[in-house]
Structure 1
Amino acid sequence: MTSLVASSTAPVGSRDYGELSQLVRKAGLLRRRHGYYAVKITLNVLAFAGGWVAFFHVGDSWWQLFLALFFAVMFAQLSFIGHDAGHKQIFRSGRANDVVGFWHGGMVGLSYASWMSQHTRHHVSPNHEDDDPDIHIPAIAFTEEQARERRGFFRWMAKYQAFFFFPLLLLEGFSLHVSSVKALWRRDLRSRRVEMVLLVAHFAAYLSAVFLVLSPLTAVAFILVHQCLWGVYMGCSFAPGHKGMPTIAPGQRIDFLRRQVLTSRNVRGGRWVDFAIGALNYQVEHHLFPSMPRPNLRLAQPIVRAFCARKDIEYSQCGWLRTYGYVLQHLHAVGAPLRQADR
């Protein structure tokens, strides 16, 4: 990641964003898509319930590992709905969205309130070297300064972190669960008691089902396959949007429009990509209009891209595999000074 250079004054940037917002609003792209979400949520829940019916029907068998793969996909799809609810993409009412968000968080064993608190800070300051929690991860250094600050084992990891990136994603599912449980100890956590009931119910039901139906060895294998693949799925869905893009150094001033566009990257692809990663492939549009319903992001993309071209604002987009190449190249470059220092 390279640091951005402030490219406009605040008044100019505000006018630009206001102009773009008018174009998007006139196109009707901020209207809620209740029908879409009703169908999407219903199909997800039916598929999720059907998976558990199949789980109990198959019984104690190694064939259950294929269902572990299925549940990894379902956990990600349910998480995407929770993400949309957190951004008020489903309903205009915050309370209605929260009901959906808490419900979906409970189904996958995540603290919806804790995750949204972190995710909101990310949206306010994407790729900000001080303020974005998504680029402050102990196991990964996203800037050379972060790499230089690492000590001991984490410093050694930073040297070769590009090689560890995908293996580390295998632990992401477990990390999300652990973070959610730890969040319950925070007395300022919103709806803490609700979260506590939902998470206890989730883990009790999940572990009871797995260990009552499967033999101990098969149960452990099922959990590992399920949770590890879910972690990879989630990491591969969220990482392309910002990793390897320019960062904003402390003290830099940049208007909202350029802050969101210049730090974000879109991923090319058809509707199967939209489905696979919950339309997070339209990261630029999502960051500019977080409450825009998921199916409208595809429609907003040509409007935003044309507007950025007129305003001479760099708009980043590449293929799915290429974006991971950029991510790995960046991580390898960040560790280069540490590798050179050891020579």
Structure 2
Amino acid sequence: MVNPTVLSDTPPTREQEKGRDKGSDFSELSRRIAEAGLLRRRPVYYTVRFGVVALALAGGVAAFLTLGNSWGQLFVAVALAFVFGQLALASHDLAHRQVFSLRRPSEIGGLLVANLLLGMSYGWWMNKHTRHHANPNHEEKDPDVAPDILVWSQRQASKAKGLPGFVGKHQAALFFPLLTLEGLNLSFNSFKALRSPHMKRPVVEGTLLVAHFVLYFGGLFTLLSPGKALAFIAVHQGLFGVYLGSVFAPNHKGMPMIEEGTRLDFLRRQVLTSRNVRGGALVDVFMGGLNYQIEHHLFPSMPTPALGRAQVITERYCAELGVPYYQTGLIASYGQALRHLRSVGEPLRAAR
């Protein structure tokens, strides 16, 4: 197991220096993966998978229209929270060109799924997620561990003031409740990002976002009474946020953080900061393949159904190199993430 600590620029061991000098470490793994045919596109798989998700979305909309102004709509809200989570995972695969090898169809698909169906900016998320992949768990460069409401290292905690300082004291207990706001947070940041210079198509993205919320809120408040509509939004968006957080939290939270100045080659940077989650077919569906987080970070464009075979090859190769490779169960991964959150909040609790 990798200790959930900070990787800093302390003097490296002989093995670490040896690994850094070996520019061929990842090349050799890449060669083995390519020879196994694990990087080729899987059009049949994605046709079936996206078709099932589309049918589930259509079924949820049909159920919504059929039930009318009924409290039974809350069951539809629960089901659609899961469907929206699956749409987010589909958008993730499109963004990484796992579905199409060309940029254009990947981008069109991503805009339709993310902006129009989910109400989340594809361009904003792509920029953020690309930076995360380049430097996972890096305190200065990974936007997913940038201090905001939550803090991810004791150094960040020591500087936290105001609301982050208060939340940081209790962030382990508040983590899952805060996830209920994640869906709304993604939409808020998506609209906010439309004015950012990195947005390539702000008009297109903004139009699709507006279209999503016109359809979403228009449908809810047209068919349901205000009270039922607000309850639907709370259940749907709350569970959607919890689902997303439950999928993404096990991947890196509680794994080593990287400080500025640390030198790691690509293979070690990705493997040491990532955690795989065991669990079989149900976990594969629930997490959309992101339970193979190590392999996904090493080969972002690898189609989801190839990740399981890649895991076996990668784990064996890391054992040959003496590189720690960590995987655990789903519930255990949540426990490790929450213990990490509690640990890094210690400076804030000690300051009371």
TM over 0.5: yes
CA contact (8 A) 1:9 1:255 kept: no
- 2:70 matches 1:57: no
Render the CA deviation track for 1:134-172: whole Å, top value 9, x for unaligned. 001411110001001111232121111111111110110
Partner of 2:7: 4
Task: Name the CA distance, whole Å, in 1 between partners of 2:141 and 2:109.
Answer: 28
Mapped partners of 1:99, 1:9: distance in 2: 44
Q: Which moved more, 1:149-158 or 1:17-26?
A: 149-158
Amino acid at match of 2:111: F
Q: Which amino acid aligns with 1:250?
A: E
State the distance in 2 between where 1:131 and 1:337 align.
23
SS in 1 for 2:346: helix
Residue-by-residue CA offset, 1:258-304 (whole Å, 9 max, x unaligned): 00000000001111101111111000000000000011111111000
What corresponds to 1:313 in structure 2?
323
Residue of structure 2 in register with 1:134 after alignment: 144
Match of 2:248?
238
The residue aligned with 1:324 is 334
Q: 2:20 touches 2:264 (CA, 8 Å); kept in 1?
A: no
Asked if structure 2 preserves the Cα contact closer than 8 Å seen for 1:9 and 1:254, the reply is: no
Deviations 1:63-93 (A, max 9, x none): 1001001110011101111100111101110
Which of the numbers 55, 61, 73 marks the counterpart of 1:46? 55
Deviation at 1:3, TM superposition (A): 1.7
8 A contact 2:149–2:163 mirrored in 1: no
Q: Tell whether the 8 Å contact from 1:13 to 1:256 is kept in structure 2 after alignment.
A: no
Query: Which residue does 1:76 correspond to in 2?
Result: 85
What CA deviation, in whole Å up to 9, does each residue of 1:9-64 have, x standing for no partner?
67634211000000000000000001111111112112101210110000011110
Counterpart in 2 of 1:201? 211
What is the aligned counterpart of 2:200 among 190, 208, 212? 190
Aligned twin of 2:304: 294
Structure 1 SS opposite 2:6: coil
Instruction: After superposition, give the CA deviation of every residue in 1:90-146 in whole Å (9 maximum; x if it has no partner).
Output: 111011111111111121111001101000000000001100000014111100010
Paired with 1:21 and 1:276, the residues of 2 have a C-alpha distance of: 27
Residue 22 in structure 1 maps to residue 31 in structure 2: yes
Query: Aligned partners of 1:165, 1:150: CA distance in 2, in Å?
Result: 17
What is the deviation of 1:186? Answer: 2.3
Cα distance per residue 1:208-265 (max 9 Å; x no partner): 1100110100000000000000000001101110000001110111000000000000
Matches within 5 A, 1:162-173: 162-173=172-183
Q: How many residues align?
A: 342
Equivalents in 1 of 2:228, 2:209: separation in Å? 24
CA distance in 1, matches of 2:106, 2:314: 26
How many angstroms apart in 2 are the aligned matches of 1:318 and 1:324?
A: 10
Whole-angstrom distance in 1 between the partners of 2:224 and 2:22: 58
Match of 1:61, as an amino acid? S
1:100-139 equivalent positions in 2, closer than 5 A: 100-105=109-114, 106-139=116-149
Q: Name the stretch that deviates more: 257-266 or 159-168.
A: 159-168
Which of 268, 272, 282 lines up with 2:282 in the alignment? 272
| TM-score, scaled relative to structure 1 | 0.97
- Compute the displacement of 1:187 (Å): 4.5
Normalised to the residue count of structure 2, the TM-score between the two structures is 0.95
Structure-1 separation of matches of 2:244 and 2:318: 29
* Secondary structure, counterpart of 1:8 in structure 2: helix
Q: Distance in 1 between matches of 2:350 and 2:316?
A: 43
Name the CA distance, whole Å, in 1 between partners of 2:169 and 2:137.
21
Distance in 1, matches of 2:334 and 2:321, equals: 28
Partner of 1:304: 314
Query: Alpha-carbon deviation of 1:188?
Result: 3.7
